[in-house]
Amino acid sequence: MPENKLIDLQEYYEVEYWSKKFGVTPELLKRAVKESDSAIADEVENYIKTKFTL
């Protein structure tokens, strides 16, 4: 797990980790970070759950 709870979209391994953790594609993760205007993992996860119900 990444050391902090921020999602760094510049780091491939973090995009892979958080995408798998949240059950979304890397593209959807990047979109969620941009649209939620946050890189805080908990906030991005909540955004995904409310906006991108799969």
- Tens of pLDDT, residue by residue over 20-47, are 999 999 999 999 999 999 999 999 999 9
Question: Using CA atoms, how far apart are residues 10 and 47, in angstroms rounded to an integer?
Answer: 20
DSSP code, position 9: T
Residue 25: strand, helix, or coil: coil
Question: Using CA atoms, how far apart are residues 18 and 45, in angstroms rounded to an integer?
Answer: 9
Quote the pTM value: 0.86
> b/e map of 31-43 (b: 16 or more CB within 10 Å)?
bbbeebebbebeb
CB 1 within 8 A of CB 25: no
Confidence of residue 52 (pLDDT cuts 50, 70, 90): confident
